[in-house]
Amino acid sequence: MQFSTTSTTQPAPAALREQALHHPRIGTVFTDHMVTIQWTAENGWHDARVRPREPFSLDPASAVLHYGQEIFEGMKAYGQPDGSVALFRPEENARRFNASASRMSMPTIPESVFVDAIEQLLRMDGAWVPKGAGTSLYLRPFMFATESFLGVRPATQFTFCVIASPAGAYFKGGAKPIAVWVSERYTRAARGGTGAAKCGGNYAAGLTAQAEAIRNDCDQVVFLDAAEGRWIEELGGMNVFFVVDGVLVTPSLGTILPGITRDSIIGLAKRRGVRVEEKPYSFDEWREDAATGRLTEAFACGTAAVIAAIGKVRFDGGEFTIPAGPLTDALRDELVGIQRGVVADELNWTWRVK
Ligand SMILES: *Cc1c(COP(=O)(O)O)cnc(C)c1O
């Protein structure tokens, strides 16, 4: 696919960009450009453009505003020691984007076009990749239904877009252990639902639970399964791992989001000779294992936060704490090292942007 390229005539003032690069706050300041590609049932994908970032003009009847056909991805571009920029397993994001698209009755996009769109934006906005420790350029590819109609059926027009924002550490406390709230009132996903799709609607439905977590002085909410209210699923936007008797345990795929960080951690742990079990793990077991000391570590993971140790677990009627642990730290150091080009990338996970 050929991209037409138009540079902005009004780039952000250098002082504002420098401020954003030195004190990045993910999702607050955006780069100068964006990529858009249009899709129609008639013409498929067409009109690929790298262009100045600007608001969309949307008809009030645009399908996304009424029926929520919207999906997204989250990935990062990392500055490398030699000054180049690298992506981490971008073809996995492309694959997952298409899995989300299929689930939401939206068109899939060739994986090569998805990755090319990101590289095009990085070539244009390369000066926006921050260089400090723990920083990166967060990339947000997304797609939404633009067709103007009211009626329940898949739309026939969509816009694919990529925007970018300099990112620092995800949680206010930096690498400090986080506190999580186990919601026994709200659920995130049910069997046959959209739990495995990265769609905006999942997040909208989770906001009330996240607010409950904040009210209880926690950083994030932990969701339990919808059928029995018993099995741990994941956090609002992160997967979760437990170290029990030295085994790394994580909930099986199905109704959870198949995280690329999750998959990478499973791979790295196995290479270290750590036993990994993807299996149902209940909130009761979590509490019990923490009390008996069989549980030695727990952490949340995702692109935005990488790996965050869970230090405290609160729920209606109680709380317990979990010590910090060596496996969490070792896996974080190795994963971050690969992403930043300071640990050998033996699994070929990094993708140099040309
Ligand atoms: C994006 C996301 C994750 C993490 O996925 P990564 O590919 O590791 O960034 C986990 N859970 C939910 C609900 C998500 O939306």
In angstroms, what CA-CA distances link 256 with 108, 181, 222, 259, 328? 21, 18, 12, 9, 21
User: pLDDT, tens digit, for every residue of 85-106?
Assistant: 999 999 999 999 999 999 999 9
Strand 350-352 vs strand 318-321: parallel, antiparallel, or unpaired? unpaired
DSSP three-state, residue 105: coil
Ligand 1 pocket residue status of 222, Cβ below 6 Å: no
Among 165-174, 229-238, 256-265, 325-334, the least confident range: 165-174
Beta bridge partners of 241: 299
Neighbours of 124 (CB within 10 A): 23
Per-residue pLDDT, 170: 62
Residue 174 has pLDDT above 70, yes or no: no
Same-fold call for 3-167 versus 178-340: no
Ligand 1 pocket residue status of 306, Cβ below 6 Å: no
Residue 172 has pLDDT above 80, yes or no: no
Evaluate whether 135 touches 24 at the Cβ level (below 8 Å). Answer: yes
Per-residue pLDDT, 133: 86
Per-residue pLDDT, 173: 53
DSSP three-state, residue 146: coil
Per-residue pLDDT, 71: 98
Among 11-20, 93-102, 140-149, the least confident range: 11-20
Q: Whose CA is nearest to atom 12 of ligand 1?
A: 237
CA of 239 to the centre of ligand 1 (A): 6
Ligand 1 pocket residue status of 198, Cβ below 6 Å: yes
Q: Where are the domains of the chain?
A: 3-167, 178-340
For residues 297, 301, 306 and 312, what is the CA-based torsion angle, rounded to 10 degrees? -50
Beta bridge partners of 318: 315
Tell me phi and psi for residue 267, to 5 degrees: -65, -45
Per-residue pLDDT, 176: 85
Residue partners of 115: CB distance under 8 A and separation at least 6: 87, 90, 91, 94, 351
Q: Whose CA is nearest to atom 1 of ligand 1?
A: 237
What mean pLDDT is predicted for residues 182-200? 97
CA of 306 to the centre of ligand 1 (A): 10
The dotted CATH code for 3-167 is 3.30.470.10
Per-residue pLDDT, 30: 97
- Rounded Cα–Cα distance for residues 289 and 274 (Å): 19
Residue 171 has pLDDT above 60, yes or no: no
In angstroms, what CA-CA distances link 74 with 36, 94, 184, 218, 259? 16, 11, 28, 23, 10
User: pLDDT, tens digit, for every residue of 218-231?
Assistant: 999 999 999 999 99
Which pTM does this prediction carry?
Answer: 0.97
Q: Which atom of ligand 1 is nearest to the CA of 303?
A: 9
For residues 121, 265, 25 and 136, what is the CA-based torsion angle, rounded to 10 degrees? -40
Q: Which CATH architecture has domain 178-340?
A: Alpha-Beta Barrel (3.20)
Per-residue pLDDT, 354: 85
Average pLDDT, the chain: 96
